[in-house]
């Protein structure tokens, strides 16, 4: 016989040879040795994980002349006949090409006949999810109550396509993806029977490329052994799989982190010149960033890394790249990968993704550093002011801070649940502006607000970061009202960037225009009051003389009025 592929030569002949499925093989061994096997099995799982091999082994074990046994002997006439396919009582059917009602009816008619050479007839139906609805219906009754001498073993990679009425009649076993460690151990065992040597890192790369499938791993190993001259190296495996080495990924990620788009694009073009698949590379890059994030979060889970091997360069990158940046980049790479699926020129999308990564690295670093610095300065000033006030209170001589002198008089007493009003734009000024505001002016402002944000970003990235917290809520011909969610953001714009923002607003709208700033929660209150005034609802709660006297004695800040029920 001519040359056979590795996965055919080394197909498991016993349950213990099936790698990475101990939870299934142990259960089947116990069932076989105690003669408690089911009349119907359903084997599900990814391709190349041992489903059909396990089905054939079970068929041999129940028909072995030494039965009941946990493993077939592979020496008796029955075991050898089932292995080479000469025993007709073990029937293997490909449902992809035999998926009609007639084929299943033929099975249903023949199951009543006793086996010719062995004790049990075994029907192995591969890719059973390909059967038609009529074929499934024809199989139902036979599958539920087959003759005592018949066993059905169904195998599929897509169990969700199988009717629940079929699944409920079977004993189900879910085969899982084989771990990289199990794949490498099995390949080492196989390579030991050949004269060709294979490097450890080459085996690791084959295991990663196989994605949990033993058949895929052995096919790649077979191809690498044929490709190499002597020892199979990592470069040989990279050549046949289209993947890239970790050192190349490290260089690309380092260039992105350094904002060196020239070096990053040169590396990518060199990669594509070697015939590598752009989509495969972007997938490797996604997994590499995922490995960095995983190692940052849980260094103990080193065994879960998909594309990276922990070395000094990898550890250095994990300390330099922030998790928030990785979240953003993974989103960007995923969008590029999705776009490449429908594009004829994947190279363009890959280069575009690399440029975006380099630019986003720059902007993220600049914004975060600038914003952090501004926050520190703001908080330091606030702390200094509070310390002065505390000292003056302890000494019994309270001296308002300079910033406090510019504030409005003490707030009026309010009912519990009302919102206090105090903003950079006084409520009276805001209400006067609202009398002139129109919906058309607000629509005009909103239509060009994106240009304002873009120009502010070009002028000052920190200013754009602080301004991004607000939105225009009202506008007239010469005024805009901005509502901020956060008081710190509002204060930073007012104290540090007001003139810059006003100049840019005037440039965009081509006219003299000012803005008021207010907190969003204050805007809700002012809008409500303004609408009441417009409707003529100016009723005010009656003043209470007892409350007025209490305010004179202790001040409004120390009094809270609770409405009686």
Q: Are residues 68 and 13 in the same domain?
A: yes
Please, which pLDDT band fits residue 153 given cuts at 50, 70 and 90?
Answer: very high
Classify residue 406: in a domain, yes or no: no
Classify residue 501: in a domain, yes or no: yes
Q: Are residues 16 and 151 in the same domain?
A: yes
Structural domain of 464? 427-537
How many Cβ atoms from other residues are within 10 Å of residue 136's Cβ?
19
Spatial CA neighbour of 55 closest among 173, 196, 191, 210? 173
Question: What is the average pLDDT across 432-461?
Answer: 85
At CB < 8 A and 24+ separation, what contacts does 193-200 make?
A: 194/225, 196/225, 196/228, 196/230, 196/231, 196/232, 197/230, 197/231, 197/232, 198/224, 198/225, 198/231, 198/232, 199/231, 199/232, 199/233, 199/234
Classify residue 553: in a domain, yes or no: no
Classify residue 561: in a domain, yes or no: no
Structure tokens at 410: 């003490």
Q: Are residues 195 and 116 in the same domain?
A: no
Q: Are residues 189 and 259 in the same domain?
A: no
Provide, rounded to the nearest whole percent, the portion of the chain with pLDDT above 90: 23
Looking at residue 539, its pLDDT comes to 52
Split into its structural domains, the chain has a count of 4
Looking at residue 407, its pLDDT comes to 43
Task: Report in angstroms the alpha-carbon separations of 491 from 280, 288, 496, 516.
Answer: 48, 41, 8, 12
Q: Are residues 156 and 282 in the same domain?
A: no
Q: d(Cα 422, Cα 401) in Å, to the nearest integer? A: 18
- Determine contact, residues 140/165, Cβ cutoff 8 Å: yes
The residue out of 241, 273, 292 marking a domain boundary is 241
Helix (H) or strand (E) holding 122: strand 121-126
On the 0-12 / 13-18 / 19+ scale of CB atoms within 10 A, 72 is buried
- pLDDT exceeds 80 at position 393: no
Classify residue 481: in a domain, yes or no: yes
Q: Are residues 24 and 161 in the same domain?
A: yes
Give 235-295 as a DSSP string.
HHHHHHH----HHHHHHHHHHHHTT-HHHHHHHHHHHHHTT--HHHHHHHHHHHHHHHHHH
Q: pLDDT tens-digit profile of 530-545?
A: 887 777 655 555 556 6
Q: Are residues 358 and 458 in the same domain?
A: no
The CATH number linked to 512 is 3.30.300.180
Average of per-residue pLDDT values in the chain: 82
DSSP code for 231? S
Please, which pLDDT band fits residue 172 given cuts at 50, 70 and 90?
Answer: very high
Question: What is the average pLDDT across 340-361?
Answer: 82
Q: Are residues 161 and 264 in the same domain?
A: no
Q: Are residues 23 and 168 in the same domain?
A: yes
């Amino acid at each position: 016989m001519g040359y056979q592929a590795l996965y055919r030569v080394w197909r498991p002949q016993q349950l213990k040879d099936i790698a990475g499925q101990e939870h299934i093989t142990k259960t089947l061994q116990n069932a076989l040795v105690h003669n408690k096997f089911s009349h119907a099995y359903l084997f599900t799982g990814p391709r190349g994980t041992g489903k059909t091999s396990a089905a054939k082994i079970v068929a041999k074990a129940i028909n072995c002349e030494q039965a009941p046994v946990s493993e077939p002997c592979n020496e008796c006439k029955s075991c050898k006949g089932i292995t080479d396919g000469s025993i007709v009582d073990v029937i293997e059917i490909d449902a992809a090409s035999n998926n009609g009602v007639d084929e299943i009816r033929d099975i249903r008619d023949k199951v009543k006949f006793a086996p010719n050479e062995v004790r049990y007839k075994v029907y192995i139906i591969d890719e059973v999810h390909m059967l038609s609805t009529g074929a499934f219906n024809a199989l139902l009754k036979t599958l539920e109550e087959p003759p005592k001498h018949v066993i059905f073993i169904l195998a599929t990679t897509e169990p969700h396509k199988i009717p629940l009425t079929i699944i409920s009649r079977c004993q189900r076993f879910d085969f899982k993806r084989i771990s990289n460690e199990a794949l490498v151990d099995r390949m080492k065992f196989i390579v030991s029977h050949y004269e060709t040597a294979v490097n450890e890192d080459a085996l690791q790369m084959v295991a990663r490329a196989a994605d949990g499938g033993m058949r895929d791993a052995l096919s790649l190993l077979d191809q690498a052994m044929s490709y190499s001259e002597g020892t199979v190296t990592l470069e040989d495996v990279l050549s046949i799989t289209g993947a890239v080495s970790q050192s190349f990924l490290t260089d690309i990620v380092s260039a992105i982190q350094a904002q060196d788009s020239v070096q990053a694009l040169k590396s990518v073009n060199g990669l594509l010149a070697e015939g590598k698949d752009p989509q495969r590379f972007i997938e490797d890059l996604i997994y590499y960033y995922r490995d960095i994030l995983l190692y940052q979060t849980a260094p103990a889970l080193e065994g879960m890394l998909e594309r990276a091997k922990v070395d000094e360069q990898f550890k250095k990158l994990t300390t330099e790249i922030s998790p928030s940046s990785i979240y953003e980049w993974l989103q960007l790479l995923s969008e590029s990968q999705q776009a490449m699926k429908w594009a004829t020129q994947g190279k363009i999308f890959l280069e575009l993704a690399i440029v975006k990564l380099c630019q986003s690295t720059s902007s993220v670093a600049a914004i975060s550093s600038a914003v952090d610095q501004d926050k520190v300065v703001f908080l330091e000033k606030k702390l200094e002011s509070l310390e002065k006030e505390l000292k003056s209170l302890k000494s019994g001589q309270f001296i308002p801070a300079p910033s406090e002198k510019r504030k409005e008089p003490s707030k009026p007493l309010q009912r519990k649940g009302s919102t206090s009003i105090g903003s950079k734009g006084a409520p009276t000024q805001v209400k006067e502006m609202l009398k002139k505001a129109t919906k058309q002016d607000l629509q005009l402002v909103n239509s060009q607000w994106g240009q304002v944000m873009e120009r502010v970003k070009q002028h000052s990235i920190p200013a754009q970061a602080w301004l991004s917290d607000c939105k225009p809520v009202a506008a007239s011909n010469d005024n805009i009202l901005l509502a901020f969610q956060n008081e710190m953001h509002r204060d930073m714009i007012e104290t540090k960037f007001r003139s810059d923002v006003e100049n840019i607003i005037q440039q965009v709208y081509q006219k003299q225009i000012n803005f008021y700033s207010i907190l969003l929660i204050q805007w809700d209150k002012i809008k409500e009051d303004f609408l009441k005034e417009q409707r003529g609802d100016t009723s005010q709660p009656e003043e209470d003389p007892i409350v007025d006297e209490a305010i004179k004695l202790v001040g409004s800040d120390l009094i809270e009025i609770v409405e009686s029920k």
